Structure 1
Amino acid sequence: MKKICFCLTGLVFLIVLSVPMQASAQSDLLQKFLGRFAGTYSSERMASENPSRVHVILTIKPIWKDRSDGAWFYLEQAAYHQREVPYRTAVLKVFEQDGKIISRNYTFENKDIFLDGEERPFPIERFSPSALDAKYCDILFEVDFSGNFVGKTPDGGCQNSFKGAQVFTNESYLTKEFLISRDRGWSQEGKQLWGPEDFGYLFEKIE
């Protein structure tokens, strides 16, 4: 009887030990990033101070929370006065790798899938990663001296075809209060074809 009790106790001990390992699968670094990343952002202040900039609403919300292969988010960008018609949508898979936070950006294989205005907000939960294009673009984030996150696309950027560009680059800066994002498109020869030439968009978190 003592031997059986000892074995059962050992089994319970192993089970208890395994639970924290699963619960702590997200490192402190990743949890810190995720805590800042999700939310609703607005460029209203920048647009009011700079007529060349547009008031944009950026929404990043968690999705597919039951998946274990990363933290997934749905992103929409829309002009403030056309919030029901986003001009950009993406699905982001966020995970940690080699001490960096990777935001892997996907688009839908069917590019028109989100344009059905009959259902708003877009019913992303009905879909799964199988609806995404196999191509993706990574933004790599590292922590700077102030504890905030500095991000950029890999050297050489990502393949892109928007407005005649062949290469896409992004530079980002994420704090608790705001996100700065600078998207630019380039020709194969390195000529900038679109995107801000001076600095990125300042998105302040409003929700």
Structure 2
Amino acid sequence: MKKTVLLFVFFASLTANAQTGNFKNKAWLDELVSIMQGTYSSEKQAAVDTSYFNISLRMVPIWKDKGHYLYVEQALSKRQDKPYRVRIYKITQRGENEFVSEIYTLKNEKDWIGKWNDPAAFQKLTETEIELKPGCEVILKRIEKNKFSGQTGDKTCPSELRGASYATSKVTVLPNQIISWDQGFDKDGKQVWGAEKAGYIFDKI
């Protein structure tokens, strides 16, 4: 009976910690968000391997009073005024060493393109104007100081791009680099878009 009570208290404590965010390593969340933000380029990789494009990636913190949010723009280097990906990432801690990057689309994304250089502008953006992409969140773990790695779930992120049925993302975050491998697969598991050999290497500028 005593062992049962102790086990109940232990698991109740874990549940309470997960709900309140009372983690021993809470500073790791700040560490992750700090190294994620910045301006990146895959120019070096594209210069040595023509199968990769020269892509610009910008990740800027917004809504600091609401938590950890990043406004994200991804575009071909020569077409930065017309990004092909406009998102908001919400970064939270879900366990002692488990972090979640939820992905949101913007309903009127054209109104926000280029606003990465004026983060205060996003105070006018409300949470009703963004929409969660369920199943597309990236689960990250801290490998060592200033290094996080993770991926999406298995076939959990739906995609209709270029005949895809689902998409996957594998991500490694480092102090001066983000390695991101996004791929789309059809219903039979055949890859229909994305890099084939390995992920894109984005160097922080």
| Structure having the higher Rg | 1
Deviation, 1:56, is: 0.8
Residues 116-168 of structure 1 show CA distances to partners (whole Å, capped at 9, x for unaligned) of x8x78585442122111243320010122575111100122311111121101
Deviation, 1:110, is: 4.2
Q: Output the TM-score relative to the length of structure 2.
A: 0.79
- Please say if 1:97 is aligned against 2:91: no
Deviation, 1:73, is: 0.8
126, 129, 133: which is aligned to 1:128? Answer: 126
2:137 alignment partner, SS class? strand
Deviation, 1:111, is: 5.6
Q: Residue 10 of structure 1 corresponds to which residue in structure 2?
A: none
Amino acid at match of 1:106: Y
Q: Residue 138 of structure 1 corresponds to which residue in structure 2?
A: 137
Q: Output the TM-score relative to the length of structure 1.
A: 0.78
Q: Residue 150 of structure 1 corresponds to which residue in structure 2?
A: 149
Amino acid at match of 1:77: Q
Kindly report which structure 2 residues correspond to 1:61-140, keeping only aligned pairs within 5 A, or say none. 61-67=60-66, 70-98=67-95, 99-110=97-108, 112-114=110-112, 123-136=121-134, 137-140=136-139
Q: Residue 175 of structure 1 corresponds to which residue in structure 2?
A: 174
1:144 alignment partner, SS class? strand
Check whether the contact 2:75–2:84 (CA below 8 A) recurs between aligned residues: yes
Check whether the contact 2:89–2:104 (CA below 8 A) recurs between aligned residues: yes
Q: d(CA) in 2 for partners of 1:111 and 1:34?
A: 23
Higher mean C-alpha deviation, range 146-155 or range 193-202: 146-155
Q: Residue 192 of structure 1 corresponds to which residue in structure 2?
A: 191
Unaligned 5+ residue runs, structure 1?
1-21
Check whether the contact 1:37–1:60 (CA below 8 A) recurs between aligned residues: yes
Q: Residue 40 of structure 2 corresponds to which residue in structure 1?
A: 41
Unaligned 5+ residue runs, structure 2?
1-20
Aligned residues: 181
Q: Residue 9 of structure 2 corresponds to which residue in structure 1?
A: none
Check whether the contact 1:60–1:75 (CA below 8 A) recurs between aligned residues: yes
Are the structure 2 counterparts of residues 106 and 143 from structure 1 closer, same or farther at C-alpha, using a change threshold of 3 Å?
A: same
- Identical pairs, percent: 30
Deviation, 1:176, is: 0.6
Are the structure 2 counterparts of residues 142 and 90 from structure 1 closer, same or farther at C-alpha, using a change threshold of 3 Å?
A: same
Q: Which has the higher contact order (CA 8 A, sep 6+)?
A: 2
Are the structure 2 counterparts of residues 204 and 142 from structure 1 closer, same or farther at C-alpha, using a change threshold of 3 Å?
A: same
Check whether the contact 2:166–2:186 (CA below 8 A) recurs between aligned residues: yes
Check whether the contact 2:32–2:146 (CA below 8 A) recurs between aligned residues: no
